[in-house]
Amino acid sequence: MMILSKKAQDMLEYNGYSYKTHDNQHVFKHSAIDSIGLTIILMITTLLVIALMIYNLFLGIGALLLSLFIFAPIVKRSKGKSQLKIDIAQEVLKINEGESKITKGFNEIMGVYTHSKFVDEYSSAFKSTSKEYQITIGLEIDQQQIIPLFKLIADHEKPSKEANEVHDFLESVLRNRKPTLHSQVE
């Protein structure tokens, strides 16, 4: 049974995903720790904005606008709680995202895609580039339907070796053949 390398698992963990394998099942979960921390920070900020509005309306409105400017991109980027379960024995893939539950047989899936999209530019002494890309790995169901599975943060437009390994892993598990690479760059 094929499993992901430690480096690929570390890359997924960095992006908020965990990976476990047991009894011919591969389970990927998006951790809720990030959303809990974000919720606590948003609640504290809301209380501070309310206190500032009581003290001085204009100061409170300014704090509210500043809070919206800071937190809107973070909330928009939050992936929420999700789970992907691949059952090799039954040849079924199950996706749970909040209220949405999708079950697809391996034979219904045309392929696995990788998509790169420019997100933002920033300055940092710790990164090799000042650009940020979102690498999406997902499933091609038919010509019109795609299901994104992983949204990863990257410094470069081309997916890393670890992101390609996740793509190839999914392709080989679903097809039980030599993996092929489908890539799109926006």
125 and 147 co-located in one domain: yes
What six digits make up the tokens of 82?
Answer: 């999700």
- Regarding whether 162 and 116 lie in a shared domain, the answer is yes
Between the ranges 14-28, 76-90, 115-129, where is the mean pLDDT highest? 14-28
Task: Examine the domain organization and report whether 26 and 44 are in the same domain.
Answer: no
Q: Is 83 domain-assigned? A: no
Please tell me whether residues 156 and 121 are part of one structural domain.
yes
Residue 24 pLDDT exceeds 90: no
Contact 61, 53 (CB under 8 A): yes
Task: Tell me if 91 sits within 8 A of 109, measured CB to CB.
Answer: no
Q: Note whether 20 and 45 are same-domain residues.
A: no
Of 178, 150, 173, the closest CA to residue 21 belongs to 173
Position 184 pLDDT exceeds 50 = no
Residues 123 and 165 in one domain: yes
What contacts 137, CB < 8 A, 6 or more positions away?
112, 113, 114, 115, 148, 149, 150, 152, 163, 166, 167, 170
Specify the pLDDT at position 181.
Answer: 41
The two three-digit tokens of residue 183, written as one number: 């890539």
Lowest model confidence (mean pLDDT) among 10-14, 80-84, 144-148, 166-170: 80-84
Residues 6+ apart with CB under 8 A from 114: 135, 136, 137, 159, 163, 164, 167, 181, 182, 183, 184
Look at residue 84 and tell me if it is in a domain: no
Which residue range forms the structural domain that includes residue 45?
A: 34-77
- Condensed to tens digits (0 to 9), the pLDDT of residues 54-70 reads 999 998 898 889 888 88
**Is there a contact between 106 and 116 (Cβ–Cβ < 8 Å)?**
no
State pLDDT tens for residues 99-156. 788 899 898 888 899 888 887 777 655 656 678 888 999 999 887 889 899 988 888 8
Query: Three-class SS of residue 130?
Result: coil
Q: Report the mean per-residue pLDDT for the chain.
A: 81
Nearest to 170 by CA among 60, 10, 15, 19: 19
Residues 21 and 111 in one domain: yes
pTM above 0.85, yes or no: no
